[in-house]
Structure 1
Amino acid sequence: MSGPNGTTVTWRSSSRCRTKIVDRVAGAIEPEMLRMETLRVRRKAPENLTAWELIFRGMWHFYQFTPAEHRCARELFRKAIVAAPDIAEGYTWLGRCNAGTLFFRWSENPAGDMAEGWQAALRAAQLAETDPYAHYAVGIMSVVMGRLHRAMEAAQRSIDLSPSFALGYMLLGMSRLFLGRAGQAIEPFQRGLRLSPHDPLAFLWLHFLAFAHFLTGEYEESLQPALNAAAKRPDLPSTHCALACCLVELGRQREAEQAAAEMQRNSSEGQEELGEFVSRFVNPEQREQIRTSLRKAGWQGNW
């Protein structure tokens, strides 16, 4: 099993081991720092908050991941920008917040939120050229604007700046997935999840990973991330979409029908909401692959 000099395989194995250790350490530090800092900030009265404290409080609301909490987070990020207009982080988080609001159809003013989010992300990258989070903000706003090649460039820039930056790999995977490169999306998703296994939004990356496996015909590999995503966020229709698709292709018809029914129950706007999500996959054959599997699972949509 070794090379001619008896060292090649051992070195490669050791290198992979070191990479996994670094990934685990990096993935453990950031969530714990976020948890401790947000707990500290939440104890303070709002009138006593500095710009940084406004940002940390906004982060806490952001990670609750509901329309109301995103709106609350956005107001705090806006206040942080007013309090400290030369700090990049306020703009970074405003861009990220608006991207989530737009992606999940929570926006009451899509055009205004898109313009604000894009300008905030660009300002963040201008103020902090070497901050991977600022480039992630540009990238995630690029995704919701349909600028997937720009998103992929921003993802790569963030990874180049910080090779252990989990969100950079997630963004790279998402960009590739929506561009029709599902097979190339799997490794970045897996790397990002390994780097940040306890990310509060891990359910998003899990269901994107499930779609990546599904679209490459790897239905068995698709099932577990789809199950995990649906268990973590049963109220999100797209998690049940991924689950229904892989279950029906595995011949588990009754469970697939249950997932499709759950998807329908949790879709506030019915076909239009799910149709917009599926439309983000730019490859028409992949969109049809998703539609076909959903129909087999009992979905009656006509988009």
Structure 2
Amino acid sequence: MPIEPQALRVLMHLVAHRGRLVGKEELLDAVWGNHFVSESAVSSQIKAIRRATGDTGQTQQVVRTVHGEGYRFVAPVQEEPDAGQPPRESSSADEDGLVSPADQDRPVVAVLPFVDLSPAARHAHVARGLTQDVIAALSKHRWLRVLTGAATARLAGHPDVVEHLREKLGVRYAVEGTIRLDGERLRVSASLTDTAAGVCLWGDHFDRTFQDLFDVLDELADMLVATVEPEVGYAERNRSSRLPRTDLGTWDLFHLGSYRFFQFTREGNGEAQRLLNRCREREPDFADAHAWWAYAVVLGMVYWDTEPTTDLLDDAIQATERALRSDDQNAVFHVLHGRVQLARREYQAALATNERAVDLNPTFATAYCGMGDSLCYEGRYSEAIAQFEHAVALGSHDPQLWAFRTYGALAFLFAHRFEEAVDWTTRAASIPNCQYWTTAHRVVALAQSGHVAQARTEVPDLLEQCPGFSVDYADHKLFYLKRTDQRELYLAGLRSAGVPE
């Protein structure tokens, strides 16, 4: 029997989450989004599903109603590949508006209205403007689902706001904040809450004096989003790592792979490649898995055991191109595409790719790092350093902050600004998960600056961090450098410090 499109969307959501109870609020959010409809709309579509499938309210052999709680899909499901059709290039929705299971599981974030605590509370319009700016900037991180301001406006002052967000709107993370404006002084306080645990994941305040209020609000909105997004990513990776391995959906499997990726170890990278590849196989239209698998492969080439072959680099670039075909407005996909282009020595193309990422999402610190790398390898050192400095300023909570400083140190090194290169490696080394290349850069910078004796004292630490490190090893791993002067400067510094050939 024919079924109406809206009823089909409800049915597909229930099928995708057939292992659990699905509440009415979740269905409203997943199917109708920010369009206001009453709960009776859900009941109406459930009746339509039963008519189309021959189910009844008495037998409930397809969809079971749990009164007061929601619905559960209970019919047997047999998944069969369509041998006559190639995989479809879409990670989020097809022409009928049906959303993939992985995209349905993306975390929902709510930005609650910022509260005006100013004397006489005369700046509510400023608080509303900052709220909207944060929502707009956070929504540029397309792996997140961000509620609109209209969806949260009525929650200001709600006594059980966290519970309401979690139970009624399916929100996993909530941003709250206040502003205090007095003359030319502004304080913005903000926090990020995990609604499931009811705990604060992050909180801070920012004080500014200003001449142009809009300029400082733009700056603070960017800083807030550049902090909140990686904190949500960190929480998602940790959440997925604690789930039973036998019951992982595609989204959780993806974040388990990301969790291993961000361990920045040889074992973690190998496992990340394996898990992300499983995601690609399980759901071929899941663009995030293709893009991050490619980045894991490139990082494995630069740091660990993955051999930088032409064929594998071709596979990696094709994976990021596939992700971009799915969503060319996704700044992350552009950045990861740029990482592969850098590995292929396509510096100008990588620069353009990262510039596009910045256009799409000006708060994405990794894009500025990618621009810095592209400019550095082209020999445009002053421009490169400016981009690395911007990446560091935005990325104080980014899990790759150590890499921003390490890659920035390489730009200082190639620019013959050796003392500054040493300083950047020192700062990078204080960050958890920092890798052996930081120490190698430091050894080279010390040797090239004339501090050869000190450089030699660092070599045992380098060999402990990367057993088997040698001049030949470094030469092989620096495959992404095509300028002879850069490679020779680096290898000469290693030799001066007494690194084995």
Cα deviation 1:243-294 (Å, max 9, x = unaligned): 1233234443332211244334525352222113445333323333333433
Match of 1:276 in 2: 476
Match of 2:298 in 1: 99
Distance (whole Å) between structure 2 residues aligned to residue 280 and residue 173 of structure 1: 15
Match of 2:447 in 1: 248
Task: Give the counterpart of 2:322 among 123, 132, 136.
Answer: 123
Task: Give the counterpart of 1:291 among 488, 491, 496.
Answer: 491
TM-score by length of 1: 0.85
Asked if 1 retains the 8 angstrom alpha-carbon contact of 2:381 and 2:411, the reply is yes
> With CA pairs under 8 Å and 6+ residues apart, which has the higher RCO, 1 or 2?
1
Report the CA distance shift for 1:106/1:19 in structure 2 as closer, same or farther (over 3 A).
farther
Report the CA distance shift for 1:279/1:134 in structure 2 as closer, same or farther (over 3 A).
closer
Distance (whole Å) between structure 2 residues aligned to residue 287 and residue 108 of structure 1: 19
Deviation for aligned residue 1:81: 2.1
Deviation for aligned residue 1:229: 2.6
Structure 1 stretch displaced more, 80-89 or 101-110:
101-110
Report the CA distance shift for 1:269/1:259 in structure 2 as closer, same or farther (over 3 A).
closer
Greater C-alpha Rg: 2
Q: Secondary structure at the match of 1:106?
A: coil
Match of 2:239 in 1: 40
Deviation for aligned residue 1:56: 1.0
CA RMSD of aligned residues (A): 2.7
Asked if 1 retains the 8 angstrom alpha-carbon contact of 2:335 and 2:357, the reply is yes
Deviation for aligned residue 1:119: 1.6
Q: Secondary structure at the match of 2:263?
A: coil
Deviation for aligned residue 1:219: 2.8
Distance (whole Å) between structure 1 residues aligned to residue 211 and residue 336 of structure 2: 34
Q: Secondary structure at the match of 2:313?
A: helix
Report the CA distance shift for 1:79/1:249 in structure 2 as closer, same or farther (over 3 A).
closer
Report the CA distance shift for 1:121/1:33 in structure 2 as closer, same or farther (over 3 A).
same
TM-score by length of 2: 0.53
Q: Does 1:87 align with 2:286?
A: yes
Task: Give the counterpart of 1:149 among 348, 351, 354.
Answer: 348
Deviation for aligned residue 1:172: 0.8
Asked if 1 retains the 8 angstrom alpha-carbon contact of 2:237 and 2:259, the reply is yes
Asked if 2 retains the 8 angstrom alpha-carbon contact of 1:92 and 1:134, the reply is yes
Unaligned runs of 5+ in 1: 1-9
Match of 1:173 in 2: 372
Distance (whole Å) between structure 2 residues aligned to residue 234 and residue 68 of structure 1: 13
Match of 1:259 in 2: 458
Asked if 2 retains the 8 angstrom alpha-carbon contact of 1:102 and 1:114, the reply is no
Distance (whole Å) between structure 2 residues aligned to residue 27 and residue 95 of structure 1: 24
- Structure holding more strand per residue: 2
Amino acid paired to 2:264: F
Distance (whole Å) between structure 2 residues aligned to residue 251 and residue 71 of structure 1: 38
Distance (whole Å) between structure 1 residues aligned to residue 260 and residue 356 of structure 2: 28
Amino acid paired to 1:176: L
Asked if 2 retains the 8 angstrom alpha-carbon contact of 1:166 and 1:195, the reply is yes
Overall identity of the aligned pairs, in %: 22
Match of 2:422 in 1: 223
Asked if 2 retains the 8 angstrom alpha-carbon contact of 1:169 and 1:188, the reply is yes
- Structure holding more helix per residue: 1
What is the number of equivalent residue pairs in this alignment?
Answer: 292
Asked if 1 retains the 8 angstrom alpha-carbon contact of 2:471 and 2:494, the reply is no
Q: Secondary structure at the match of 1:211?
A: helix
Structure 1 stretch displaced more, 156-165 or 258-267:
258-267
Deviation for aligned residue 1:189: 1.0
Distance (whole Å) between structure 2 residues aligned to residue 187 and residue 261 of structure 1: 33
Structure 1 stretch displaced more, 41-50 or 181-190:
41-50
Q: Does 1:53 align with 2:241?
A: no
Unaligned runs of 5+ in 2: 1-208
Report the CA distance shift for 1:245/1:19 in structure 2 as closer, same or farther (over 3 A).
farther
Deviation for aligned residue 1:169: 0.7
Distance (whole Å) between structure 2 residues aligned to residue 237 and residue 66 of structure 1: 10
Deviation for aligned residue 1:63: 0.4
Task: Give the counterpart of 2:409 among 205, 210, 222.
Answer: 210
Q: Secondary structure at the match of 2:399?
A: coil
Amino acid paired to 1:63: F
Structure 1 stretch displaced more, 249-258 or 39-48:
249-258
Asked if 1 retains the 8 angstrom alpha-carbon contact of 2:358 and 2:368, the reply is yes
